[in-house]
Amino acid sequence: MLLICPHCKQQYNIEEGKIPSSVKNVKCKNCGQSFPLQEEPAPTPEDVISRVVTPGDNETRRIGVCISKGGVGKTTTSVNLAAGLAFAGYRVLLVDTDTQGQDSFALGVQPKGGLTELINEELSAEEAVFKARERLWLLAGGKSLAGLKRLIDRKDFGGELTVSEALKPLESQYDYVVVDTSPGWDPLTVNVLFYVNEILTPVSLEIMTLQGLVEFLKSLSAIQKHRKDVALKYILPTMHDQRVQKCTEILEKIEELYGHLLCKPIRQNVHLSEAPTSGQTIFEFAPGSSGAEDYRELVRKVANNDKLFR
């Protein structure tokens, strides 16, 4: 459960089960002020989408691919959505905020730095942003982000805006900024939620329960109290296997609860797991595969343009 002090915005990631039910107020270790411990109700679709700020035609769209769970297809989706938008003709910046640095690997590139070096001013924006493909640029993640997290933690004030302040001056050069995130809640994930205004949440029909999605949405609500213009825009089922009953059941439940956010599922497809090992996007590795077809459909949905790739 993510708690944010309403006075100083310090974040606490607390295991819900460890809080005695009698506790109604908590004291912030950072600023010393007390605030009520409120159980976040599971947000309704209206709660999570009503805040969305529809970008103007010339405004850069900032999309975060987020959910606290790992292994659900965040990186696969970030890379292929970004690449698909670029192939469709948009200028795209892909930002990797995970210490694993998988986005560079998936694109088969080795930038000499990325987000950390941009924020530390070790590299200029021109040096930190790596041109990975035609119209597709990468601001890489990787191990150095661990130091960046400590830097954010040490800031007395405004730590949650560190990424935003670094990306804002660059973003007008792009039509889309797509941000890949790490599993769990860490200072960088919170930073991403203070930067993007649209969230795409992959839900693996293979490994996830609906509970994982509901937990994520509760934490998102906690952020939305402090930042009004971030909203859940898309729920993307991944690793869909029609033959598996559990997949169908989860899908039906998501449709019932969050129907209008639901995107057409990405099917289980072996080429999607093989493509990164050759440093290729699914459109390069297996353009005729169901994986490529499904991600093209996602690109059409996100760009709101049915004619793309036809």
**Residues that bind Mg ion in the complex, under the rule CB under 5 A:** 74-75
15 within 8 A of 219, measured Cβ to Cβ: no
Instruction: Please pick, from the candidates 43, 45, 70, 279, the single residue that binds ligand ADP as defined by CB under 6 A.
Output: 70
Tell me the C-alpha distance between 231 and 101, whole Å. Answer: 26
Among 33, 34, 44, 273, binds ligand ADP (CB under 6 A): 273
- Quote the least distance from Cβ 67 to ligand ADP, whole Å: 7
Amino acid making up residue 269 = N
Rule CB under 6 A: is residue 99 a binding residue for ligand ADP? no
Q: Are strands 2-4 and 136-139 parallel, antiparallel or unpaired?
A: unpaired
Contact flag: residue 73 with ligand ADP (CB under 6 A)? yes
Tokens for 187, please give them: 């200072």
User: Contact at 8 Å (CB) between 264 and 301?
Assistant: yes
The residue range among 41-49, 53-61, 108-116, 268-276 that interacts with ligand ADP, by the rule CB under 6 A, is: 268-276
CA atoms within 13 A on the CB side of 217: 25
The residue (of 51 and 301) whose beta carbon lies closer to ligand ADP is 301
Q: Can residue 129 be called a binding residue for ligand ADP (CB under 6 A)?
A: no
From Mg ion, ligand ADP, none, interface partner of 76 (C-beta below 5 to 8 A by class)? ligand ADP
User: Using the rule CB under 6 A, which residue among 261, 266, 286, 298 binds ligand ADP?
Assistant: 266
The single residue among 205, 223, 254, 272 that binds ligand ADP, judged by CB under 6 A, is 272
Contact 251, 205 (CB under 8 A): yes
Q: Please tell me whether residue 55 binds ligand ADP under the rule CB under 6 A.
A: no
Residue 72 binds ligand ADP (CB under 6 A): yes
- Residue 197 in the binding site for ligand ADP (CB under 6 A): no
Distances 189 to 67, 97, 104, 168, 184 between C-alpha atoms, Å: 9, 8, 19, 17, 8
* Rounded least distance, CB 124 to Mg ion, Å: 27
* Coil vs helix vs strand at 236: strand
Burial (CB count within 10 angstroms: exposed 0-12, middle 13-18, buried 19+), residue 259: exposed
* 237 to 256: interface string for ligand ADP, x by CB under 6 A: -xx-----------------
* 278 counts as binding ligand ADP under rule CB under 6 A: no
Quick one: what does residue 201 bind among Mg ion, ligand ADP, none, with the CB cut-off 5 to 8 Å set by partner type?
Answer: none
201 lies in the site for ligand ADP, by CB under 6 A: no
* Residue with Cβ nearer ligand ADP (97 or 197): 97
DSSP state of 54: P
CB of 196 to Mg ion, least distance (A): 16
* Binds 73: which of Mg ion, ligand ADP, none (CB < 5-8 Å by kind): ligand ADP
71 makes contact with ligand ADP (CB under 6 A) = yes
Q: Answer yes or no: are the C-beta atoms of 115 and 128 closer than 8 Å.
A: yes
Under the binding rule (CB under 6 A), the answer on residue 74 touching ligand ADP is: yes
HSE toward the beta carbon, residue 151, CA cutoff 13 A = 14
Q: Which of 147, 162, 37 is nearest to 95 (CA)?
A: 162
Which position has the token pair 């760009």? 303
CA distance 248 to 73: 18
Closest CA to 276 of 84, 87, 104, 92: 104
Residues at the contact surface with ligand ADP, assessed by CB under 6 A: 70-76, 238-239, 266, 268-269, 272-273
